[in-house]
Structure 1
Amino acid sequence: MAFEQYEFTGSQNELIRDLAKKMRFVSYFLIGVGVLSAIAGLLTVLRGGGGSIINGIVYIVIGIWTTSAASSFQKIVDTQGNDIENLMLSLGELRKLYTFQYWLLIIALVFLALVFVLALLGGLTGAGT
């Protein structure tokens, strides 16, 4: 029994191509912002202040993973006979990207909750004096 691979139509390929182009633009933008942010953070640290180096690194990582996902989507358009396999690889790249962002948001929410609780406790203990 021969297995026939699904091939996307021309209009479907155009949709995927457009998505890959936009993802690539966003990825380059994020990498650029990340590099500038990391440099600004480094300069701030060298001058004795706090820096945003970590923020820049996060942008760079998100940009790199977005570039990888964009390339995976472009493979769907550029190749024949592997559309479903390439689509699944593309979805895997997106999953990595969003899993990273998911955990960053969870960590940020935990820190915000800790700051809120500490501020509340500080306000309560400060009110008694």
Structure 2
Amino acid sequence: MTTEALRVSPMMVLPEIGEAVARWSAMGFSVTESGDPDCVGMAAGDTCLLLVGRRLAEREYGLAVASRLEGATVPYAYVRSLDAALSTVAPESVLTVAETSYGTREAVVASAGSLSVLVEKRVM
């Protein structure tokens, strides 16, 4: 099975995001609100950074996975097929697979010495 990577953005998981939003805004990044106070996109040119609060990580991935993500900046990688992407990693490296409240199917993976989030956008 082949997979198609679509794009990747860094995702910072923080205890709370207010201070980080202020800092990145002060550097000229624009804020893209998600509708969730624990998730904000920051954009500059063709790049973006996702700021995610621990509360959102806990809601979507569970307490144990949120604890591993907190304080980390991880790749948030959109793929055409999550199942195809997961076929490229060892099953024991998949920490969780979640159908999120914001319409994506996501897997948090611990592989090659780092964490990453693989994301498939669901068609609504």
Q: Which has the larger radius of gyration?
A: 1
TM-score > 0.5, shorter chain as reference: no
Structure number with the higher strand fraction is 2
TM-score of the aligned structures, taking structure 1 as reference length: 0.21
